[in-house]
Structure 1
């Protein structure tokens, strides 16, 4: 019997960020391993014309969430409407009552101060009013202190008072905040992103989402049962335990694309890594911007609205934000994480496994690409043969286009240079003589 699963039975849990990727996986794990949960509270806001109840219904009925007990999620889940900009009383009034466990799974895609600082502050105020609170878990990026090369499992002092940051952000327009996104595998698979300014041997520090979720639930159990005297930081990183570099990742991603291509690709997938700025700018111009301009010209000729240049510019802007991270490697201390693993029973180590040393990166990356195709792009596996035919057509177009460019460039060079004409005539004469000799030799043998 799993001690962690038994611990969460009968517990009440609050999860923020439940509509995001990690929040959904966290709920999925709880539904599967602890069907006797008392209640899961989630904070959901209306969005895109959908009410809170409609969004919850959509989450529970999506193919991303496949709980074993179909009735369990509906009986266990309770949603509360919220808005980050509202007051503390409106946010958490209905929830400020004796609860047992508080899981704070914040996985926001924008580093907005209103979410990362203000909302966390409000959650802490709410938690302080829970006399039976057993654990408060905050999930954040391991790159919070990316200015350091070696990062320990400690809380580093904040260089700026948080209140000053909150006050200063009140006067900043949201439109000025750049979005932060991960590596666009879907864009790479469609052939949009073919080159990246990155150090090939730099460690990618990949972490599967279920590894993070397993560690989160294990931390909640350990905190409630063992009551550590101080706040513990747990690094869920792979760099120093089971490193995977960008070259290895790019190779396996391309190999998977060959077997399971994405539908309606813009160009054939490719993964070129370079550390040279000039080379990177060249590939951006040749492999990214030029094809986008040509495609927009084609759209104009056919009476359609050009859009590819705008899409490509946005993609390159997003990728430029990643350059700091894909050109560096970090060292992480994992003493607390390894200590927690040693505290688990063999059954818990199997059910809630977060040991990254057991990861097979080649297998993981292949499953990762398949997941992007199935769940992110919503593509059917039955369309793979047609997708492969489409890639063959793109390959032929690529060869034809390059041949035409070579002939045009050579023709222009011949027209301007006597030496180039002499070289061309020499090559043609040599090929003719070689073919004549080969034909004569074949005749003699017969």
Structure 2
């Protein structure tokens, strides 16, 4: 058993936001990789006409939990809660239970809406964190408090260190002031409060970090700052995602032929991080914080831009090539995306490629007696694009000293089981698109991994008398079929197919002999995945 799994054995864990995207992956990873964890308490509120128990039941049915469904029923303990209410609306009986047994807290709950009104965002992201800290300070057996923030909490800085930056306004004073203000007054002062940050989300997440530091008392605390969290890389299987917020939604819109233009700076880094990498880091940070008990709050910038940079200008190629080879069902039109940093050019293409076709299609729907819908779809798309524009037009540098330190503290077994961002130097950015595609189609016939030009890829087919050396040119990709377990390596001048379609286990890659650009898919990872299927 690894050191991390050994620590969580017999422990009681409390997770907020467990029904969200990252929370679900965290629950699954704990149950699968730390099978001796005693119990996982999750805070759940009634929502959309569903009771707490109904939400947990629906959560358990998710494909994500296929491998741990039996443990889910035994070890998941839901606790009724509401972050907007005093004391988180936890009953006195449940409070006593939590105070006496919880060893680790993972605080994932937050509103991630960029356009959330300030008062509501402050309540969910800051006040709820304050109240959870009050509860945590009373817990008799608490070893670690892990707070999930965002790498963009300090997006008003070009270089972000692994430290907490003090806000211009004390959170307590701000919370007290907003209590007596009406909505119109709050709207008037919001731009002045958030300053050069783009939205209330990043502003309140920065305030929450400061609150955690100031009000944590003697707790052992760590803060995780992931960048743009996307589909899973490897665990529990490649490509899992339960929403299409942010870039994932735009990628799918492009694949459907809806999105044809997007405003972004071509050389700006699109810092995408797989959700399983963030979760693995979170669990490792929980172990390190509980075992080593650092004297100061540790901040972990969980980003990939400094390790495996992927630029927004590259998205155009990846989107089009991926979805042309693997067209989505019921596409609006042929995929074709154009990324530009010029405002006027972008507005021109929005009028020509978005609004005009939408109006014509809605006219056709009206004439045929159907309800028009395309302009509504495009309006929602344009709103999403506007909210993302700030992040697609700039690049940031995040320091990663604590990440390096944590990696050095792990055993060999833990490093193998925990895919940290440092492992992403072989992670292709095109894999994010492939993962999104795989999730959308619920397992396509062919999963395509896109890469940049390779210099040389020596491949050994065991049992072949004269193993070939492949020297692809142009922009190669690897095409793997889960059904036939067939691996095909394509390039502009070369196609080489494994002759033994049903014995992919005979194929291996001499990884140490590879000479690759940083953005090329790790062939070894791809082949090993299909060996295990």
Tell me the TM-score normalized by structure 1: 0.80
Matched, 1:172 2:183: yes
Match of 1:104 among 100, 104, 107: 107
Which residue matches 1:250?
316
Which residue matches 1:415?
none
Hey, what's the Cα distance between the residues in 1 that align with 2:10 and 2:345?
A: 59
Indicate the SS of the match to 1:103: strand
Which moved further from structure 2: 161-170 or 11-20? 161-170
Q: How many residues align?
A: 378
Indicate the SS of the match to 2:403: helix
Hey, what's the Cα distance between the residues in 2 that align with 1:165 and 1:286?
A: 45
Which residue matches 2:425?
358
Q: Name structure 2 gaps, 5 residues minimum.
A: 115-120, 191-198, 202-244, 448-533
Which residue matches 1:182?
246
Distance verdict in 2 for CA 1:383–1:150, change over 3 Å: closer
| Superposition deviation, residue 64 in structure 1 | 2.6
Which residue matches 1:82?
81
Which moved further from structure 2: 314-323 or 2-11? 314-323
Q: Name structure 1 gaps, 5 residues minimum.
A: 385-446
Which residue matches 1:437?
none
Hey, what's the Cα distance between the residues in 2 that align with 1:229 and 1:353?
A: 26
**Contact between 1:188 and 1:194, CA under 8 Å: does it hold in 2?**
yes
CA-based RMSD of the aligned residues comes to 2.3
**Contact between 1:23 and 1:107, CA under 8 Å: does it hold in 2?**
no
Residue pairs, 1:254-265, within 5 angstroms: 254-265=320-331
Residue pairs, 1:11-410, within 5 angstroms: 11-67=11-67, 69-88=68-87, 90-91=89-90, 93=92, 94-95=94-95, 96-98=98-100, 99-106=102-109, 108-110=111-113, 112-167=121-176, 169-170=178-179, 171-172=182-183, 181-183=245-247, 184=249, 185-354=251-420, 355-362=422-429, 364-374=431-441, 381=444
**Contact between 1:250 and 1:271, CA under 8 Å: does it hold in 2?**
yes
Hey, what's the Cα distance between the residues in 1 that align with 2:412 and 2:445?
A: 40
Hey, what's the Cα distance between the residues in 1 that align with 2:424 and 2:70?
A: 36
Which residue matches 1:421?
none
Which moved further from structure 2: 317-326 or 183-192? 183-192
| Superposition deviation, residue 358 in structure 1 | 3.3
Tell me the TM-score normalized by structure 2: 0.67
Hey, what's the Cα distance between the residues in 2 that align with 1:65 and 1:359?
A: 27
Hey, what's the Cα distance between the residues in 2 that align with 1:34 and 1:303?
A: 56
Distance verdict in 2 for CA 1:380–1:203, change over 3 Å: closer
| Superposition deviation, residue 363 in structure 1 | 5.3
Distance verdict in 2 for CA 1:158–1:179, change over 3 Å: closer
Relative to its length, the structure with more strand (as a share) is 2
| Superposition deviation, residue 167 in structure 1 | 4.0
**Contact between 1:242 and 1:356, CA under 8 Å: does it hold in 2?**
no
Hey, what's the Cα distance between the residues in 2 that align with 1:380 and 1:236?
A: 28
| Superposition deviation, residue 20 in structure 1 | 0.7
Distance verdict in 2 for CA 1:76–1:238, change over 3 Å: same
Indicate the SS of the match to 1:230: coil
Hey, what's the Cα distance between the residues in 2 that align with 1:359 and 1:136?
A: 32
Report Cα offsets for 1:184-203 as digits up to 9, x if no partner.
22222212212111011110
Relative to its length, the structure with more helix (as a share) is 1
